[in-house]
Amino acid sequence: MFLFPLISFIVVIWLVVFIMNTLTTNSHNDRSNNSNTNRTSTQSNRPMEILKERYAKGEISEEEYLKVKRNLE
């Protein structure tokens, strides 16, 4: 009679720990995936940002800017 309540208690505790671990792991994976997506989109825009910066600084002419911009798009 004493064994059944003890085993039940252990199973309930194990389930709570398992569920908490699963929720925490899924939440962490979602955040990692979102940050990777943001990083990829930022990296893909970087050449255009550099081009705009160079044009703004006067390092390249308008003609060069428009030519490179067409190539990047």
pLDDT in tens, 42-70: 667 889 999 999 999 999 999 999 999 99
Provide the pLDDT confidence category of residue 37 given band limits of 50, 70 and 90: low
Alpha-carbon distance of 36 to 63, in angstroms, equals: 35
CB of 72 within 8 A of CB of 47?
yes
Does residue 58 come out as left (phi exceeding 0), alpha (psi in the -120 to 50 range) or beta?
A: left
pTM over 0.95: no
